[in-house]
Amino acid sequence: MIEVRWAEGRFERFAEIAAEFVRLKVDVIVTAGPPVFAAKQATSVIPIVFATVADPLSTGLVASLAQPGGNITGLSLTSPELAGKRLELLREAIPGLRQLAIIANADYPPSMRELDEVETAARPLGIETIALKIRQAADIAPAFQALKGRAQALYVIGESLTVTNQVRIRSFALAARLPTMEPNREMVETGGLISYAPNFPSLYRRAADLVDKILRGAKPADIPVEQPTKFDLVVNLTTAKALGIEMPPVLLARADEVIE
């Protein structure tokens, strides 16, 4: 039996849902991203499997990737480590890139770490960065208003808030004629320009394997946290044409998928 809950991107709901699962005495909690931290606070007994978390080690979710310890294991996105590669690909698509806006959830530590990584990678390339730190959906419109005319592209850091509001972010970006680097393929489908990210369906399938192991008696503490092995480069040519961007043939040839 599966109990499904959705927080609609509202951080205040995470703790409520985690507490409800504890009351229901479920055998295992499966989640992804920021809700994992609420689940960890709610129980140190019920096994927790995270299908995707940006940075489980430095945020203290696990003691180590090889030996997680405690009641939590899952799959790491290695998002902060991908920042340099994503910036390199965005620069390849927009050779004259000099001003980059970065939108991130200020209340989610892995997002802030990825923001730092992007800013660090941008400095030696002579790219000025403008951080758009948001905490709720209502912050998105004012962030874009303040950005007006100051950026040539937008780097979107993925987690619950930005994913839930992806259509809104995309609408503002397209209105401002800003090409975007997205955290996953799904956000390119809704109008983003490009994404370089782990293959999310494969991560969720692997999470199901971890759940199976736990239900058969394995302890989360002994199940190593896995890292992605498959990364997808996805380009939306329709968005490129709408923005008047001529995508380099070499980049398109390397893409795992081109959306037309």
Task: Tell me the per-residue pLDDT of 150-180, one tens digit each, with 9 for 90 and over.
Answer: 999 999 999 888 988 999 999 999 999 999 9
User: Is the pLDDT assigned to residue 78 strictly greater than 80?
Assistant: no
For residue 59, the model assigns a pLDDT of 84
Are residue 135 and residue 207 in the same domain, yes or no?
A: no
Are residue 220 and residue 205 in the same domain, yes or no?
A: yes
Instruction: Kindly state whether residue 171 falls inside one of the protein's structural domains.
Output: yes
C-alpha angle with apex 108: 104 to 112, nearest 5 degrees?
55
Query: Which residue carries 């991203």 as its tokens?
Result: 33
For residue 233, the model assigns a pLDDT of 96
How far apart CA 96 and CA 137 sit, in angstroms, is 31
Residue 53 sits at φ, ψ, to 5 deg, of -140, 135
Are residue 122 and residue 206 in the same domain, yes or no?
A: no
Structure tokens belonging to residue 107? 């209340």
- End-to-end, the C-alpha distance of the chain in Å comes to 40
Give the pLDDT band of residue 229 (cuts 50, 70, 90).
confident
Are residue 170 and residue 114 in the same domain, yes or no?
A: yes
How far apart CA 114 and CA 202 sit, in angstroms, is 23
Are residue 72 and residue 155 in the same domain, yes or no?
A: no
pTM: 0.84
Are residue 142 and residue 152 in the same domain, yes or no?
A: yes
Domain that holds residue 156: 79-197+232-259
Are residue 131 and residue 175 in the same domain, yes or no?
A: yes
Are residue 143 and residue 46 in the same domain, yes or no?
A: no
Instruction: Kindly state whether residue 4 falls inside one of the protein's structural domains.
Output: no
Whether 170 contacts 42, CB under 8 Å: no
Are residue 192 and residue 206 in the same domain, yes or no?
A: no
Instruction: Kindly state whether residue 6 falls inside one of the protein's structural domains.
Output: no
For residue 159, the model assigns a pLDDT of 87
Whether 155 contacts 127, CB under 8 Å: no
CATH number at residue 31: 3.40.50.2300
